[in-house]
Amino acid sequence: MKRSTPLVAGILAELATGERRKPRLARRAIIAGLGAAAVLAPAMAFGQERVVNVYSSRHYDTDRALYDGFTQATGIRVRLIEGDADQLIERIRNEGANSPADVLITVDAARLERARAANILQPVRSQVLEGRIPAHLRDPDGNWFGLSKRARVLIVPKDWTPPIPLARYEDLANPALKGTVCVRSSNQVYNISLAGSMLAANGAEATEAWAKGVVANMGRPPQGGDTPQIQAVAAGQCRIAVSNTYYFGRLAASEKPEEKAMADGLRVVFPNQGDRGTHVNVSGAAVVRNAPNRDAAVAFLEYLTSVKAQEMFANGNFEYPVVDEVNVHPVVASWGRFTEDQLNAVAYAKNGAEALTLMQRAGWR
Ligand SMILES: [Fe+2]
């Protein structure tokens, strides 16, 4: 570990020494539950195990280290249930008041918004979360919090000079780029959120015209996830892949020589640097409405904003930390810094349904 984790380290020090007068942040964190070992113990039977039940649709091997880190810092055991996001939301709904779920973790703000609309989340006020997560990456009402960022970028061959300056998402609809664009289907949540952000920036008419232009420029019908779009560019089938950054990060850092060589021939274009910035989405978490272990759930979310946890997001899956002081993975750093669209994630998530309708009407499969 390159750095200490001031939040958790401070609390552990406090627990160890019994010191009562600590900086306000640490005291507040204890009250909020990060130091649940001290705060919750009197209310519980001696020897009763403290747990937090986490329902997660993130399936990254490295996430286990995040959960183990929380247990080491707080003594609270993480019980993990993994599943598809929509299935988890449905499961929590069906379990109702008896749901053991404390925390829901998923990717993409649109899915977090879906969970909020399904009435399975509860608002949380936490100065730790509000202080450490920028406002545009969380629900203003505290129903969910973004914990890591992923930028939706363009991946192009290093040796290709586009016929027009390729600088904006809007350029993907320029007829000069006919036959060059590879992008996955319109009903995939990353594209829904991207189009939702364009809807906010440009309005419905322009967004539908844009979607028509993108369809006209596709090098092949949408198929597969983001990685196959990148592979299609490397294979010469398209010139531009629309992809989340971490997929390209995985290829660029791959131990398989053929994947590494493929990534070496490609570069990242961060769109809209001269105007609103590149669209970013989040992986995020929320406290479930009937969480039986609410304090532990809040403590868990707060832990995920600690430097140590944020480094794991950054290094484990090539995501961007939401906490500024944490460095990105060296491969991610090599693409350079970029300006991100500051549109609140709730805004583009709420535009999702209309965005999908526009894309489908435009013939985007
Ligand atoms: Fe993904």
Distance of CA 204 to the CA centre of its chain: 26
The pLDDT value given to residue 61: 77
Beta-strand (E) ranges in 163-239?
A: 181-182
207, burial (CB in 10 Å: exposed 0-12, middle 13-18, buried 19+) = buried
- Report the separation in Å between the CA atom of 283 and the middle of ligand 1, taken as the mean of its atom positions: 9
Left (φ > 0), alpha (ψ -120 to 50) or beta: where does 194 sit?
Answer: alpha
- Report the separation in Å between the CA atom of 218 and the middle of ligand 1, taken as the mean of its atom positions: 21
Nearest-angstrom CA–CA distance, 56 and 114: 15
- Report the separation in Å between the CA atom of 268 and the middle of ligand 1, taken as the mean of its atom positions: 17
Q: How many other C-beta atoms lie within 10 A of the C-beta of residue 163? A: 12
Beta-strand (E) ranges in the chain?
A: 51-56, 77-82, 103-107, 145-157, 181-182, 240-244, 266-269, 280-287, 320-321
The pLDDT value given to residue 62: 80
The pLDDT value given to residue 63: 86
- Report the separation in Å between the CA atom of 310 and the middle of ligand 1, taken as the mean of its atom positions: 18
Domains of the chain and any CATH numbers: 6-149+282-327 (3.40.190.10), 151-279+337-361 (3.40.190.10)
* Tokens read off for 318: 């090539």
- Report the separation in Å between the CA atom of 322 and the middle of ligand 1, taken as the mean of its atom positions: 17
Nearest-angstrom CA–CA distance, 246 and 233: 17
| CB 108 within 8 Å of CB 281 | yes
From first to last of the 365 residues of the chain, give the pLDDT tens digit. Answer: 333 333 433 333 333 332 223 333 333 333 333 333 333 433 444 557 899 999 999 877 788 889 999 999 999 999 999 999 999 999 999 999 999 999 999 998 989 999 999 999 999 999 999 999 999 999 999 999 999 999 999 999 999 999 999 999 999 999 999 999 999 999 999 999 999 999 999 999 999 999 999 999 999 999 999 999 999 999 999 999 999 999 999 999 999 999 999 999 999 999 999 999 999 999 999 999 999 999 999 999 999 999 999 999 899 899 999 999 999 999 999 999 999 999 999 999 999 999 999 999 999 99
42: three-class secondary structure by DSSP: helix
- Report the separation in Å between the CA atom of 189 and the middle of ligand 1, taken as the mean of its atom positions: 9
| CB 156 within 8 Å of CB 170 | no
- Report the separation in Å between the CA atom of 99 and the middle of ligand 1, taken as the mean of its atom positions: 27
Q: Which helix (H) or strand (E) holds 120?
A: none
Give the DSSP letter of residue 76.
P
- Report the separation in Å between the CA atom of 239 and the middle of ligand 1, taken as the mean of its atom positions: 21
* Tokens read off for 289: 């409405």
Residues constituting the chain: 365
